[in-house]
Copies of this chain bind each other. A is one copy, B any other.
């Protein structure tokens, strides 16, 4: 957390994910101030509330300050297809940039604090700060990379690996953000987990029980506790590579 930001101030959004767009490009204090003046709306959504939904005019981006959000759309039979879960620090709605309407539904999984940034303001900012455009492109690229990783996970692995991999990637994302990653809150229904992983709740339930029995990790009452990191990595099919994660690190600057 410390030393990452060229400018530190008591501004509105110093803790929200928009800094991930703006700070890496080295904003001046003046630019930060301008950004803060623009990001005035800081809505709060409670569990189950809709942030935006597919088909409505795509007006804004949201930076998630706290809480968790799922992004999904309905298939032709009315089933949810969940594409992503967003964690604090993530930007929501990037894929609707320059689009007439949103393509997905975004729903709060628990109480969420957000920052709202109008698309037209972002566009304005982009003209004043060319480096910002590159950052937006990078975030988009990262979103594509995450989706591809998820796709690979879903299509070329067994159910058990998918579940292990899901827990592992959540832990990693919390770690990247400086939170405790061996014991963290995960306010996702098992049913949503199943949907996200292309499985049924029954299968997820059976697999979670197995991991618990084997002492790898537990997930009870919204809390995940990892007990055996190597076994979890192995179950998730993480290559026994020595140290770092090339892509993520590059993306974060």
Contacts and interface: CB of A to CB of B under 8 A. Distances in A.
Given A76-B239, A76-B240, A103 B145 contact: yes
Interface string A131-153: 00110111011011101101110
Nearest to A96: B141
A251 B97 CA distance: 12
A248 B137 contact: no
A46 to B, nearest CB: 27
A30 B214 CA distance: 68
Interface residues of A, number: 42
A200 B133 CA distance: 42
Q: Please indicate which of the listed interface residues A79, A141, A150, A154 has the most CB atoms of chain B within 10 Å of its own CB.
A: A141
A252 interface: yes
Nearest to A138: B98
B156 A79 contact: yes
Interface in A49-73: none
A43 interface: no
A78 to B, nearest CB: 8
A61 to B, nearest CB: 13
Contacts of A251: 77-79
A204 to B, nearest CB: 14
Work out how many copies of this chain go into the complex: 2
A252 B156 contact: no
Nearest to A130: B127
A156 B98 contact: no
A156 B137 CA distance: 29
A221 interface: no
25 contacts: A75-B152, A76-B237, A76-B248, A77-B240, A77-B248, A77-B251, A77-B252, A78-B251, A79-B156, A79-B251, A81-B155, A81-B156, A83-B148, A95-B141, A98-B134, A98-B137, A100-B250, A133-B133, A140-B140, A140-B144, A144-B144, A150-B151, A154-B154, A154-B155, A155-B198
Nearest first, the 7 A-B pairs at minimum CB distance are: A155-B198, A144-B144, A151-B151, A77-B251, A140-B140, A154-B155, A76-B239
Given A99-B141, A147-B148, 20 more contacts: A75-B152, A76-B239, A76-B240, A77-B248, A78-B252, A79-B251, A81-B156, A83-B151, A95-B141, A97-B137, A98-B137, A103-B145, A133-B133, A140-B140, A144-B144, A147-B151, A150-B151, A154-B154, A154-B155, A156-B198
